[in-house]
Chains A and B, each alone.
Chain A
Amino acid sequence: MKFPIYLDNHATTPLDPRVLDAMMPYFQDQFGNAASRNHAFGWAAEEAVENGRKQVANLIGANAKEIIFTSGATESTNLAIKGVAEMYAERGNHIITAATEHKATLDTCKRLEKEGCRVTFLPVMQDGLIDLDMLRESLTDKTILVSIMYANNEIGVIQPVAEIGKLCKERGVLFHCDAVQAVGKVPVNVITDNIDLMSISGHKIYGPKGVGALYVRRRNPRVQLTAQIDGGGHERGMRSGTLNVPGIVGLGKACELAQKEMATESARMAAMRDRLKAKLTAALDETYINGSLTNRLPNNLNISFAYVEGESLLMGVTDVAVSSGSACTSATLEPSYVLKALGAGDDLAHSSIRFGIGRFNTEEEIDYTAEKVISVVRKLRELSPLYEMVKEGIDLTKVQWTAH
């Protein structure tokens, strides 16, 4: 076993060596600019880009012409939401999103709110899913866009995307979906899911950082966007700037591999995730899984160990890389807004750990991690005044705490 063990695959994934192999020539001999139309260097680069475009499109059931390359999913999401808001301003100014979205969506919506848009931030139910009835009731004749993620980056819950897409289609509202965590792990199809715009990232699917894509539907309806970056009119005029050829080749290769291997890989990750979950919950009392167990990514486990603070737990499992929803791991001193939105109470948000299993993890690593986490949780509970109080029969909700 190699240490530290990497179990934070929602944050980023290692580059697949096959992806790197595909990219290498485009850093070296094939360095051309894909926009150079009059020599072989340009043609080779353009061919590589168009091949990448096809590979991305194939994975999500799209046409290659519907793929716009960007610097990453944050840019894709910015372009989708701001581009729609600007392009369709005459039709309406209302956007609907959810409280548990990624910051790329939330912060973009908040900026638009300042600029005069009306934004509805839907709450989520205790399992992390949005309430479709609430979404239906929130749609108005001014609504131009619904932006709901496919799968959550913290708790891994999968939203009812096909139902959301169908509802948006019926109401003539565009649907943007941040599918960063879902692509490559569960089947995503923009046709059957009725998605109009979709953000994809390279580095979450064993591709390189600094490259992403935005799917923009070309027919039924033909989605238009106001470009947010000007300078040459690349990518159907929606995203100017010289194309990141090696990055695009890498993203394309990553999508090709994901398409080939998704079924077996997802089953393998789900088995490891379930093994980890079974070991932890069997050994430790008062552990709570955050988010729906049924509508969930195969590689995600987000679990709260009551009466143990998340950062102190991470400190004890130094040879395993995971992340926590604890405030102490963020600069803001606020615990995870996603976990808070589930309504489980801030104390459980402070006690949460996110495990993100990936392509290169092994069962041996899972077993090591489980043992390590169990021993550290036990040690910290010995140190926890809360655990002691609960064992003495004190109801923690009835205690007068001195909040600070």
Chain B
Amino acid sequence: MAYSDKVLDHYNNPRNVGSMDKADPHVGTGIVGAPECGDVMKLQIKVNDATGIIDEAKFKTFGCGSAIASSSLATEWLKGKTVDEALAIKNTDIVNELSLPPVKIHCSVLAEDAIKAAINDYKAKSGAAKPASVEA
């Protein structure tokens, strides 16, 4: 199977690899996939409370080259977007950008799931944190 140049580029030079503190209330963490399925993605976002903009995005992925590229690309796209804009990212956008073949579409689906999971985690945390700050 031949990989597209963009997949190779993300594989060889993955963007935004790393981890942020899961306990930080500004950080949302999404972990999707399963080791026995051959891919697990961890995607994290850090949201600026004042602007609602994603300042930082990090990922770590266990998976094939297309899974690594999909999550690497996702972190690039997430930075600078608002949470609502981030929710609008679709797996098909990733498929098109990376020219993924049909057999690799599940990698893009997983990346979209990871984005949603990270945002949900952030929302749950900040939603839980906000009433507390109002009381204070």
Contacts and interface: CB of A to CB of B under 8 A. Distances in A.
B100 to A, nearest CB: 12
Given A312-B68, A331-B103, A404-B33, A386 B62 contact: yes
Interface stretch (A36-44, A126-134, A343-351): A343-351
B40 A315 contact: no
Interface in B15-74: 17, 19, 31-42, 60-68
Interface residues of B, number: 32
A327 interface: yes
B80 interface: no
Nearest to B109: A404
B36 A385 contact: no
Contact of A345 (B19, B36, B67): B36
Given A312-B65, A312-B68, A383-B17, A328 B60 contact: no
A281 B110 CA distance: 32
A396 interface: yes
B63 A312 contact: yes
A404 B61 contact: no
Contact of A335 (B38, B42, B63, B66): B38
A402 B61 contact: no
A315 B64 CA distance: 8
Interface of B: 3, 8, 11, 14, 17, 19, 31-42, 60-68, 103, 106, 109-110, 113
Nearest to B41: A385
B38 A309 contact: yes
B36 A346 contact: yes
A392 to B, nearest CB: 10
A350 B103 contact: no
Given A385-B60, A402-B33, A403-B36, 10 more contacts: A307-B62, A312-B64, A315-B64, A326-B64, A382-B17, A385-B41, A385-B62, A387-B62, A402-B32, A403-B37
B17 to A, nearest CB: 6
Query: Chain B CB within 10 Å — which of A309, A311, A331, A333 has the most?
Result: A309
